[in-house]
A and B are shown apart, each in its own frame.
Chain A
Amino acid sequence: MAYGIIGRNRFMPSGLAQDGTRWILPLHVTLLLLLAAGAQPLGGIDRAMCQWDCGWYEQIARNGYDMPPRWTSDDYGQASWAFFPLYPLLLRAMIDLTGLGAHAAGLAIGAILFPVLVLLAATYMRDRVGDDGANGPFRTVMFLILPTGFWFRLPYTECLYGVLLLGMLMVLARGRTLAAMLLAALLCLTRPTGLVCVIVAALFHAFAPGMRAPGAGRPTRLVEGGVVILAGGTGLASFIFFLDHLLGDGLAFAHVQAAWGHQPHLPSFWIGYGFTHRRTLHLAIAALLEIGLIGWGLRIGWRMESCTLLATFLLAGSAGIMSIHRIVLGNPLAGMLLTIMADRAPPSWRRWLILLCLVLDCVFADSWLHGRRFLA
């Protein structure tokens, strides 16, 4: 993120409308309406969208973490403290503020945050690769309809995480360190991978030559990067204190992962495992695609973004293959790399790429609404 591209003095860029951001809300609402129409026979969009981990988040939002683990033979030992608290807190606040049910409140959070995420991503990409005519609108629309963006519409943590991550990167680049510290702490309260993202981004801020801005010398950058890492650690530490008070084990969120079959191994082990089991074959393929995407990102010079994704991949891939597609490809940095890849394809491919994304969106939505597990 070179200074000349994302400068300290530019908070909100001019000419947003030229980026295709005017399409964000209409397109977002249209896709939501289509999703609602598809979900109508299944009991409504709010009910049909709440699958898998959504139930855990709702349980935490309603009852807090003070619930015993599950004891049935299938999920023996699984417990709510595997899930980080910020999203359930937001869900609880939305329920209390609006009077909506938990399903509808989760859907509303995604519906509000996703356009914000797209706006941040459009701004980030515009600052990163520049304004160039029709490419801005194409990038914005692509990011919005990417099949991997389906995770952002779910009542899951992905959208909140993405907004906090992009927000932190952008305010850090503009020298708004206090805001970056706050966002880093919140990011670390959202998902277990938050702290590695904060560390990589802050190290790049402190040391990468292209990140230095006029008037912000190395000592300033070192202090800014250092305090952002420490603030992220404080966010995680607050969850550790809470779990220590509740259970006597501050790392309970990590230890309980064993109940989901997560064990420490090299990512190569888990990828090999994925290829030898039919249930996880798609995850192993996704892991290889992610490695390819990260390599491509490094090649085109998106070093900080690619290293952040790599750190996320290594952390998640060291514990298991489950959900590796969602954890990495559901990160907005991966979404932006995919968008830039589409942007660099021949212009004649664009309409076909948009069509392909829309078709895949329909396939993913149908699969999710019917409770199939492959996106979970």
Chain B
Amino acid sequence: MGGAFLPERSRRDGRTRLLGLAMLGLLCGLVDLAGLWRATHPHVGAAYRQLYLTPGGIVNGTTLRQ
């Protein structure tokens, strides 16, 4: 008789697993959004900005050989 309940239990386990994954995914998604926001909002000094965030800001032996 217990066997008759197995498919239902299996479906319920499957749904629980998916729900758990979705919650974990939601948490990861929130962290990703925060990371995206931090990545697109640098808060750096003028020297750093001039060197790394300005095109052509770095000239060295490696770039000159390119």
- Residue numbers of A with Cβ under 8 A of B are 73-78, 177-178, 181, 219-220, 223-224, 226-227, 230-231, 233-234, 236-238, 240-241, 244, 247-252, 255-256, 258-261, 279, 320
Contacts and interface: CB of A to CB of B under 8 A. Distances in A.
Contacts of B63: 258-261
A223 B58 contact: no
Given A74-B60, A251-B42, A258-B58, A237 B21 contact: no
A77 B62 CA distance: 10
B60 A73 contact: yes
A261 B58 CA distance: 9
A259 B32 contact: no
Given A248-B43, A251-B39, A256-B52, A237 B31 contact: yes
17 contacts: A73-B60, A75-B60, A76-B60, A77-B60, A78-B60, A78-B62, A181-B28, A226-B25, A227-B25, A233-B28, A233-B29, A234-B31, A237-B32, A237-B38, A247-B44, A251-B42, A255-B53
A227 B28 contact: yes
Interface in B1-32: 14, 18, 21-22, 24-25, 28-29, 31-32
A236 B36 CA distance: 10
Contacts of A234: 28, 31-32, 35
B38 A244 contact: yes
Contact residues of B: prevailing secondary structure: helix
Given A223-B22, A231-B28, A249-B48, A75 B61 contact: yes
Contact of A74 (B48, B58, B61): B61
Given A74-B62, A78-B62, A240-B39, A248 B34 contact: no
A230 B24 CA distance: 9
A241 B62 contact: no
A76 B62 CA distance: 9
A252 B52 contact: yes
B62 A260 contact: yes
Given A74-B60, A78-B62, A233-B35, A248 B28 contact: no
Contacts of A77: 51-52, 57-58, 60
A249 B44 contact: yes
B62 A261 contact: yes
A258 B63 CA distance: 8
A229 to B, nearest CB: 9
Contacts of A238: 31, 35
A220 B18 contact: yes
Contact of B42 (A73, A76, A248, A320): A248
Contact of B58 (A76, A236, A244): A76
A252 B52 CA distance: 8
Nearest to B43: A248
B21 A224 contact: yes
A230 B28 contact: yes
A271 to B, nearest CB: 14
A367 B23 CA distance: 51
* Residue among A236, A237, A279 facing the most chain B CB atoms (10 A cut-off): A237
Q: Which 6 A-B pairs have the closest CB atoms?
A: A237-B35, A74-B61, A76-B60, A227-B25, A230-B28, A261-B66
Given A230-B28, A231-B28, A248-B43, 20 more contacts: A74-B61, A74-B62, A75-B62, A76-B59, A181-B28, A223-B18, A223-B21, A223-B22, A227-B28, A233-B29, A237-B34, A241-B38, A248-B42, A249-B53, A250-B39, A252-B52, A255-B52, A258-B52, A259-B63, A279-B65
